[in-house]
Amino acid sequence: MTNQLNSALKNSFFEKENGIRIPLSIPQISGNEWKYVKECLDTGWVSSAGQFVGRFEQCLADYIGRKYAVACINGTAALHIALLVAGIQPEDEVIIPALSFIAPANAVRYVGAWPVFVDISADLWQLDCQKLADFITKECEYKNGRLKNRHTKRYVKAIIPVHVLGHPVDMYPLLKLAEKYNLVIIEDAAESLGACYHSKRVGSLGDVACFSFNGNKTITSGGGGMILTDREEWAQRARYLTTQAKDDEEEYIHNEIGFNYRLSNVQAALGLAQLERLDHYVDIKRNIARRYAAGLKDVAGLTLPQEASWVDSIFWLYTILVEEKSYGINSRKLLSVLKDAGIQTRSLWHPLNTLKPFLKCFSYQVEVAQRIYEKGLSLPSSIGLSENQQNEVIKMIQENNVEWR
């Protein structure tokens, strides 16, 4: 009852603020959130000390199947620290997909390294492992355990596979390349918590992995991130760097430049309560995807997201491609029609290689990313999306199609 009341209040607030009746992706608060946060408030443990940070870390490490987890203030900070513990140096290069949220590209620049953008595959919209292999074998030379980009003369040190929109990247070919060419794999699993690759959870496959608990992700801590690894020394170093590189607590000795990246106890309390509900939320996400697929499969001009046979996607944001000719209007026009009806949708990210800060970076055969970017539209995918709301979205998308009318 209270939960229903809360959600009714929340929805009317959201609508008044934004004119949005059906939001893209908002948090669902339905577990121990109030209880755990109240515990923080009652005990006064609201900041960087308190038991919830450790519990949240342990719970996520257990869920993913990794030895160590280190919490930090957000997913971007997690990527920054992961790059540092992986030993990425200024002027090194790090391979990332051209179609992704900007966080991994920015994090690469934070350590003074340079992103190299590789295209995505046309079917799954994830980092194209074949093109990546071609880049390595045709454009680089491998000598003395180091991979050198022939064009830039810089050394390629790592790959950040970004599991975008809830679907895992094809990791085995990447892991093979990484072994052969001495590269570190840093998984950006921010959008795919709970997804599986050959029955293994994303975040358990690379040398180190990062998650985000931003408000629009599948679970949220208000804001937060996590670094996961099986390497004890990397975990220790991550903890050290996120807490100002403190070598002596009493005398304030710091032998390195550190960061204030630790998650607060209140945020961890929220995150832990959310994590307890994750399996349920993943089921809901998959159900939402099934209903969209059933409702939209016969609409001319739409391409629906695929799920490879070797994965369990969580369909974080259910994203379709809109073909202007056969559908009747393009993705941006459809976005605005839905917006006028109070339905919030979103375009995909601008290909990173075409953004101003990255224009000078090397990019390899980026073609598909541009096409997917132009046609992509992410549909409302909140855990709390009701069947009626979803039917309304489906109906509007059907009715805007030229052939349907």
Ligand X SMILES: *Cc1c(COP(=O)(O)O)cnc(C)c1O
Binding pattern for the stretch 24-63 against ligand X, x by CB under 6 A and - elsewhere: ----------------------------------------
Q: Which amino acid is at 288?
A: I
Backbone angles phi, psi at 149, to 5 degrees: -75, 115
Binding range to ligand X, per CB under 6 A, among 46-54, 70-78, 133-141, 284-292: 70-78
DSSP 206-265: SSEEEEE--TTSSS-SSS-EEEEES-HHHHHHHHHHHBTT-SBTTTTB-SS---B-PPPH
Q: Least distance from C-beta 143 to ligand X, angstroms?
A: 32
**Closest Cα partner for 286 from 305, 320, 309, 314?**
314
Judged by beta carbon, residue 100 or residue 149, the one nearer ligand X is: 100
Q: Which amino acid is at 376?
A: G
225 binds ligand X (CB under 6 A): yes
Of 25, 28, 76, 264, the one binding ligand X by CB under 6 A:
76
Judged by beta carbon, residue 190 or residue 296, the one nearer ligand X is: 190
221 binds ligand X (CB under 6 A): no
381 binds ligand X (CB under 6 A): no
301 binds ligand X (CB under 6 A): no
d(CA 141, CA 109): 23
Q: Least distance from C-beta 103 to ligand X, angstroms?
A: 3
75 binds ligand X (CB under 6 A): yes
With 0-12 / 13-18 / 19 or more C-beta atoms within 10 angstroms meaning exposed / middle / buried, residue 350 is: middle
Binding pattern for the stretch 149-168 against ligand X, x by CB under 6 A and - elsewhere: -------------x------
Q: Least distance from C-beta 214 to ligand X, angstroms?
A: 4
Residues 80-139 interacting with ligand X (rule: CB under 6 A): 100-101, 103-104
CB 275 within 8 A of CB 59: yes
Residue nearest to ligand X (CB): 75
- β pairing state of 155-159 and 93-97: parallel
Of 57, 187, 191, 307, the one binding ligand X by CB under 6 A:
191
Judged by beta carbon, residue 103 or residue 366, the one nearer ligand X is: 103
271 binds ligand X (CB under 6 A): no
188 binds ligand X (CB under 6 A): yes
**Closest Cα partner for 194 from 270, 280, 127, 73?**
280
Q: Alpha helix (H) ranges present in 30-128?
A: 33-43, 51-64, 75-85, 103-110
Spatial neighbors of 324 by CB under 8 A, at least 6 apart, are 301, 330, 331
d(CA 233, CA 252): 22
Residues 195-214 interacting with ligand X (rule: CB under 6 A): 212, 214
- List interacting residues with ligand X (CB under 6 A): 74-76, 100-101, 103-104, 162, 188, 190-191, 212, 214, 225
